[in-house]
Amino acid sequence: MRKEPPGATLIIGDFRTVCGSCWAPASPEDTHHTRVPGGSLLHPCRLRFTAMRHADGRGKEDLLRALRPDLPIADH
């Protein structure tokens, strides 16, 4: 039986999105962290995004669902 690799949380902020696993910048539309936008010298961890949350905490669930209806919202 093939074991699924661990997933990462996509942390979406008002001006920046990062991967919750490696903390490198991420693109909110990507399914896996395979690229780092913005010319950063950091490297992506290549994990699949399995959940998302807003960087500022709760209260932005509608925004998150509009951006990525395919991902569940993670607990903080």
pLDDT digits (tens, 9 = 90+) for 13-66: 999 999 999 999 999 999 999 999 987 888 999 999 999 999 988 778 999 999
Distance, CA of 35 to chain centre = 12
pTM: predicted TM-score of the whole model, two decimal places: 0.86
Please name the residue that has the structure tokens 């913005």: 38
pLDDT digits (tens, 9 = 90+) for 22-36: 999 999 999 999 999
